[in-house]
Structure 1
Amino acid sequence: MVVLSKPSPMEQFTTTATTTTSTTLFPLIDLSEPPESSKTKLVAACEEFGFFKVINHGVPIELMAELEYEALKFFSLPLSAKAKAGPPDPFGYGNNKIGRKGDVGLVEYLLLTTDTQSDYQKFASIFGEAAEKFRCVVNEYVAAVKKMACEVLEMVADGLKIQARDVLSKMLMDEESDSVFRLNYYPSCSPEFQDSGGRNLIGFGEHTDPQIISVLRSNDTSGLEIYLKDGNWISVPPDQYSFFVNVGDSLQVMTNGRFKSVRHRVVANSRKARISMIYFGGPPLCEKIAPLPSLLIQGDQDSLYNEFTWFDYKTSVYTSRLSDNRLGLFEKIAA
């Protein structure tokens, strides 16, 4: 059994700045505390960073380790074997090319749905009987992380004083929810994969996540960086026992810009391979995305965005570059 020390309410991160070096304090959300003591801190984290760390989350450490083991077993296979699970359509195995517009990174990945067994049929010829074990581990892990994500979203609703506590979480729980699960593998970046200044190449280029919320867990390897309001990139120290949560574009719209979807990237690590697993909590394709009426009334504000469906936005994302401001197409133009 792994025993974790109780961290302080704020955790220190060192910034790898574009111009200067500074120190930033980041919020931690402890789900073992009463919600009343955490929801204000949670709302502040979403407003200031669009990103926070979750501890005492209830997802078994053994399950996290088991999924990592299964993922590493897959990514360690020869390319000819992994290719049987691809190319992605968009689900399945892929590498290097991240988006349809030519965004390139030093990464291999598996993109999976969260509610069907069809994806795992691709792995039968690779794993044989072990394919069922892989499917079961992924399903158990996704169920646990989705439960935790819904708890976080309900705390957000409480913190925003929205009467319908499940106004956000019900979109993830909907049978038609368009949530996805992704496993990323970043090989260690040897000297030939560094630029002339000796800096590691990008593993996954800068972007925001289009969904409502993203929940990430990685092995004990650095690489994740987020972009701060002051124009600096901050390196996030790895923690294999905790989760990191991103505000997505859809949640930014639903809070009428009060929350900001966080811009982030991954740089390749020169010493050790990095593996990450991300649950992207998305609404049903037909769901209308717009600022929540109760928040507009509270703030006596006009909507900053034109209403769109998740299908509309997802389609626009697929036809844009990774680093584009994809919400710009849906922002209202001030008179």
Structure 2
Amino acid sequence: MVVLNSSPALNKSAIFSGVPAIRLSEPGSDSLLVRACEDLGFFKVTDHGIPMELIAKLEEEAMKFFASPEEEKELSGRKLANPFGYGSKCIGSNGDVGWVEYLLMPVTSEPFSMAFLMQPSASSFRSALNEYISAVRKLACQILELMAQGLGIEQTDVLSKLALDEESDSMLRLNHYPPCLMLQEQNGFLTGFGEHTDPQIISVLRSNNTAGLEISLRDGSWVSVLPDQEAFFVNVGDSLQVLTNGKFRSVRHRVLANGWESRVSMIYFAGPPPGEKLAPLPEAMEEGEQSQYREFTWREYKSCAYKTPLGDNRLDLFHK
């Protein structure tokens, strides 16, 4: 059962105007990225090079998919390997729920293909996914290389190579938060996706022109982030917090649904290979600085993350 939220703190989060906006081609963007990751763990990038036409095309195709009959979406989802595919309301296997439906798919080095998308009627969806995944993965790697450069790491691909590895555990998630009709007369909001941090390295987010995303500031307060049709938003994930020994902050965030507008978001999660050992990078640490985390593999951390409730602080289990 999905429960309506009536908390004033949840319904009336202040609009946040302090999201760092970074033009990737400008001199000094590497330093600005590092500062944003240290201060907030969240920023937006412009001058990203991804055509607006491509973004609009994938949003259109995603809406077509989510508008199809429930049985058709579920059948299509079952053709994918668990835990990937179509899902609705349930988020994970630990009792978390939200006013959301989604399509979750792996990203590989090969052109994207899913059994149900091989049908001629879905060829435009498949084509849009392939083009978008290629473009957003390139953008993620550009951002990761600028981060390494800003940290003063000589090997600037030390982070991006994790996302480009043939065994990289990266994913694309399409989320749809439909209008909740029972909210229209109550002027309220509903938890679309509960508060959490992303376990991967970074998440690159694009949404349609509908509000709902909120982030938690260092003082624990929640603020609303307005969409920006010219930008991509980027979250620092748990893995990057570990790799930087806590210098970069993995930001807690959530999404609220409403009674009037559909929200569609497309999130690329840049993940390392399953066997990759995660520990603070020596190059990112000061002389004499002690590691805050014990070494663990991405497979170990992912297993832990998906066995715990959505809002848990999973990194607590890996602190020294």
TM superposition score normalised by structure 1 = 0.87
SS of 2:305's equivalent? helix
Identify which of 92, 96, 105 aligns with 2:89.
96
What does residue 5 of structure 1 align with? none
The answer to whether the Cα contact below 8 Å between 2:15 and 2:226 also exists between their aligned partners in 1 is: no
3-state secondary structure, aligned to 2:132: helix
Q: Which amino acid aligns with 1:83?
A: E
Aligned to 2:99: 106
Q: Name the SS of the counterpart of 1:185 in structure 2.
A: strand
CA distance in 2, matches of 1:100, 1:123: 26
1:100-249 paired onto structure 2 within 5 Å: 100-115=93-108, 120-124=114-118, 128-192=119-183, 198-249=187-238
Alignment pair present for 1:81 and 2:81: no
Q: What's the CA shift for 1:74?
A: 0.3
- Structure 1: where are the runs of 5+ without partners? 1-15
Q: How many angstroms apart in 1 are the aligned matches of 2:66 and 2:270?
A: 24
CA distance in 2, matches of 1:135, 1:192: 34
- Structure ranking higher on relative contact order (CA contacts 8 Å, 6+ apart): 2
Question: 1:272: which partner in 2?
Answer: 261
**Cα 1:94/1:31, change in 2 over 3 Å:** same
Deviation at 1:238, TM superposition (A): 1.1
Q: Which amino acid aligns with 2:58?
A: L
CA separation in 1, counterparts of 2:139 and 2:182? 39
Name the CA distance, whole Å, in 1 between partners of 2:224 and 2:15: 11
Letter in 2 for 1:121: A
Which residue pairs with 1:48 in the alignment? 39
SS of the residue 2:19 aligns to: strand
> C-alpha displacement at 1:270, in angstroms?
2.5
Shift of 1:184: 0.3
Aligned length: 309
Q: Is the 8 A contact 1:222 1:269 kept in 2?
A: no
Partner amino acid, structure 1, of 2:227: P
What one-letter code is carried by the residue in structure 1 that aligns with 2:317? L
Contact 1:113–1:119 (CA under 8 A) maintained in structure 2: no
**Structure 2: where are the runs of 5+ without partners?**
1-7
Which of 234, 242, 249 aligns to 1:260? It is: 249
Q: CA deviation at 1:20?
A: 8.7
Q: CA RMSD in A?
A: 2.0
Shift of residue 78, structure 1, vs aligned partner:
1.0
| Alignment partners' CA distance in 2, 1:228 and 1:222 | 18
Give me the whole-angstrom Cα distance separating, in 2, the residues matched to 1:222 and 1:308: 37
Q: What TM-score, normalized by structure 2, do the two folds share?
A: 0.91
